[in-house]
Structure 1
Amino acid sequence: MPRSLNILLIEDDTIEVMKFNKVLKNLEHNHKIVEANNGEEALLLLKEQTIVPDIIVLDLNMPKITGLEFLEILKKDDILKYIPTIILTTSNNHKDLLECYRLGIAGYILKPLKYDDYVERVKKLIEYWSLNELISQ
């Protein structure tokens, strides 16, 4: 049975944050979304233990700490490294894709140009992780 997720969305683009929230608002379950504008802010949230997300949805191209830099830090932490991290990005750079998987991501999704395609991808992402057995902290 699907369950509600605690989601940490790390995205610096306000429009992208609004799109993601709109898609989740239209789903049946009440997923809780905590937003961080960049990797630095996300690391502070995670270290303070104000949130323990079930999944992290991460953009790659951000100021301060890039998505790749965030992943490197996250995967070195003995507790946080187990949180499934899914990349949601415009970067179709094969080098980025390989590096993200090398660092241990759970998935890599390209942001499509068409809104309807975006809705479908995000819905499938959330539906999958709502059914997946997750490690409890």
Structure 2
Amino acid sequence: MSDIIDVQTNDQKAEDLKAIGWVSYALHLIVALGAVIPGAQPGAALLIVALVIDLVKKGDAEGTWQANHFSWRIRTVIWAGVLYVVTSPLWLLLVVPGMIAWGLISIWFLYRIVRGMVAMNKSQAVDA
């Protein structure tokens, strides 16, 4: 009896990780655009799904240029969350300072996602 072992090549693994990365970036982009465009809030659920994907698949990317992208997206979400929480008291003072702060954070979030997507398109790590 012969056992057939399905060994995934490094090229296939790299392509699978890249596909997962694009899905994650797409989810992040939808959330980022929703944060920047007034009235278009897709909700935090998509962001949580993308974050879980990144956390689960990060280990599979260890030792590849794509590991950098998983860390990049995770750090972006964590920093954005911290910044939103830290600036949330501004909404209690007046609406305008809260809107300005959250608008700037949303633009920064969008910038980080687009920057990561550009690097992914070039099959390169994101320069920190």
TM-score between the two structures when normalised by the length of structure 2 = 0.36
Which structure would you say has the larger Rg? 2
TM-score between the two structures when normalised by the length of structure 1 = 0.34
Compare the two structures and name the one with the higher helix fraction: 2
Compare the two structures and name the one with the higher strand fraction: 1
